[in-house]
């Protein structure tokens, strides 16, 4: 972080030669965070610049659709900005809960197209994905994806917590579906390297075992939902995958005390030893 400026960093790579890579740093003054958009040249900069605008407050001149992407449009301030106050109350207007089809969005009675909302309650849209689509018969002619209000200011919460105890519950929630222990490990390794903490071999084995179980659970969920995306069926492969995932979650519950939000790692090791009797636990594994 800098007191006088923000920086937009663009990483560019050649498709035919991934070893050819260059980074471009574009500084903007903190008191007037305005930069030039890269979207007309690199279309993939679209959502990244929207996120920087939403969370940091950098405005990109020439951007075709500069609006919030992770927070509601009525949100006040930018959570990752240096002058943001977390304790400041937020006022959510009733307009957000009203029908989004304003009169000027409604198609005439004789129009060939139809406006259709897909999600966030449709079973094939994961999480809180909302697709605002325009249909011409069965052909999608336009779509505006809304990926939902997902930002929870975890970076700043981690900055205010202590390394030893207060940060570890957060990594579980970065991937609340399955891979929490893997995220815990990533944070633990980073903090241990900074503090020069050596992890005993026994704890390393337990970390590896729990992380592998967590990885299997994550992959079972990924394969099951992928099958759901491919043919839109909530039974068969999807339910078989969840059935096997339940077995893994039962083992993780015996080991950590939790099925999803584990909070199992500690700097230098783990919080619990293997459950007793060990023979029965190893039989389950």
Rounding to the nearest 10 degrees, give the CA dihedral for residues 179, 285, 236, 129.
Answer: -10
Domain identity same for 166 and 274: yes
Q: Give domain status of residue 89, yes or no.
A: no
Please check the confidence at residue 196 and state whether its pLDDT lies above 70: yes
Percent of the chain with pLDDT over 70: 89
- Helix (H) / strand (E) element for 252: namely helix 237-256
Domain identity same for 132 and 191: no
Q: What is the pLDDT of residue 124?
A: 64
Q: What is the pLDDT of residue 270?
A: 94
- Among 37-46, 59-68, 228-237, 242-251, where is mean pLDDT lowest? 228-237
Please check the confidence at residue 109 and state whether its pLDDT lies above 70: no
- What is the per-residue DSSP string for 13-82? E-SS-TT-EEEEEEEEETTS-EEE--TTT-TTHHHHHHHHHHHT--EEET-TT---SSS-TT--S-TTST
Domain identity same for 104 and 212: no
Domain identity same for 137 and 54: no
Q: Give domain status of residue 88, yes or no.
A: no
Domain identity same for 10 and 116: no
Domain identity same for 47 and 121: no
- Helix (H) / strand (E) element for 269: namely strand 269-270
Q: Give domain status of residue 45, yes or no.
A: yes
- Among 32-46, 85-99, 109-123, 159-173, where is mean pLDDT lowest? 85-99
d(CA 160, CA 187): 15
Q: What is the pLDDT of residue 119?
A: 78
CATH number where 56 lies: 3.30.460.80
Q: Give domain status of residue 225, yes or no.
A: yes
d(CA 198, CA 15): 40
d(CA 271, CA 261): 14
Q: Give domain status of residue 90, yes or no.
A: no
Q: What is the mean pLDDT of the chain?
A: 85
Domain housing 186: 162-284
Domain count, the chain: 3
In terms of Cα–Cα distance, which of 51, 130, 57 is closest to 96? Answer: 130
Please check the confidence at residue 228 and state whether its pLDDT lies above 90: no
d(CA 165, CA 88): 26
Domain identity same for 130 and 193: no
d(CA 191, CA 175): 19
d(CA 82, CA 185): 28
């Amino acid at each position: 972080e800098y007191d006088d400026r923000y920086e937009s960093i663009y990483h560019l790579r050649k498709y035919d030669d991934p070893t050819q890579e260059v980074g471009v740093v574009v500084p903007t003054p903190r008191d007037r965070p305005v930069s030039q958009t890269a979207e007309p040249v690199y279309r993939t900069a679209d959502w990244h610049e929207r996120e920087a605008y939403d969370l940091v407050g950098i405005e990109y001149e020439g951007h075709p659709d500069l609006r919030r992407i992770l927070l509601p449009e009525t949100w006040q301030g930018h959570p990752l900005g240096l002058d943001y106050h977390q304790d400041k109350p937020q006022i959510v207007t009733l307009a957000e809960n009203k029908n989004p089809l304003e009169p000027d969005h409604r198609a005439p009675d004789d129009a060939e197209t139809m406006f259709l909302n897909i999600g966030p309650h449709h079973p094939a849209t994961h999480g809180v994905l909302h697709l605002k689509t325009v249909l011409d018969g069965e052909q999608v002619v336009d779509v505006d994806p809304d990926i939902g209000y997902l930002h929870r200011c975890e970076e700043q919460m981690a900055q205010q917590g202590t390394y030893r105890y207060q940060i570890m519950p957060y990594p579980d929630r970065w991937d609340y579906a399955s891979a929490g222990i893997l995220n815990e490990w990533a944070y633990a390794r980073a903090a241990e390297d900074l503090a020069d903490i050596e992890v005993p071999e026994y704890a390393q084995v337990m970390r590896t075992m729990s992380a592998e179980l967590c990885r299997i659970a994550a992959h079972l969920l990924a394969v099951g939902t992928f099958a759901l995306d491919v043919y839109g069926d909530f039974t068969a492969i999807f339910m078989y995958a969840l059935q096997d995932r339940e077995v893994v979650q039962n083992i993780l519950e015996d080991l950590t005390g939790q099925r999803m939000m584990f909070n199992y790692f500690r700097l230098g090791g783990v919080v619990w030893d293997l459950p007793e009797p060990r023979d029965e636990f190893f039989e389950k594994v």
